[in-house]
Amino acid sequence: MGAEFPHRVTYHASCHSLRSLQVGDIPMRLLRQVREIELVDLEGLDQCCGFGGTFAIKNADVSAAMLGDKVLSVLNTRAEVCTALDNSCLMHLYGALHRQRAYPRTAHLAEILAGETR
């Protein structure tokens, strides 16, 4: 059977999954196996979104600038959904997109693999 997700999707590689857990390209390989997905490459895929736990609080200006760059990259993909493995990144990105009244929504990779279309 397999997953089906008929949406335009971009993937953000969170720092934790990329650097600490070293999951590499496994999330992208999984996404490429999803039926009907339109997977769009994210410029700066491996660049931090600026959350990083307390980093966003202790370095609010730097965090906001990093988030702004990431959101611009997401918007440039014209994706309907931005996915990641880290709920903190997804929350950070969602907040910025919501404040801008931007269209893309965020979804955990597990939601896509489960075919959740909300």
Does the structure show a pLDDT above 90 at 116? no
Element at 108 (helix H, strand E): strand 105-108
CA 68 to chain centre: 14
Does the structure show a pLDDT above 90 at 54? no
| Percentage of the chain exceeding pLDDT 70 | 97
The pTM for the full model equals 0.90
**Across 20-41, average pLDDT:** 93
104 to each of 26, 97, 100, how far by Cα in Å? Answer: 23, 7, 11
Does the structure show a pLDDT above 90 at 111? yes
**Predicted local confidence at residue 112, as pLDDT:** 96
Kindly list the structural domains of the chain, giving each domain's residue range(s) and its CATH number in brackets, ordered by start.
8-113 (3.40.50)
- Phi, psi dihedrals of residue 6, rounded to the nearest 5°: -80, 65
**Across 7-30, average pLDDT:** 90
**Across 94-109, average pLDDT:** 93
Q: Which long-range contacts (CB under 8 A, 24 or more apart) does 90-95 make?
A: 91/51, 92/49, 92/50, 92/51, 92/56, 92/67, 93/12, 93/49, 93/67
Q: Which three-class secondary structure state does DSSP give residue 96?
A: helix
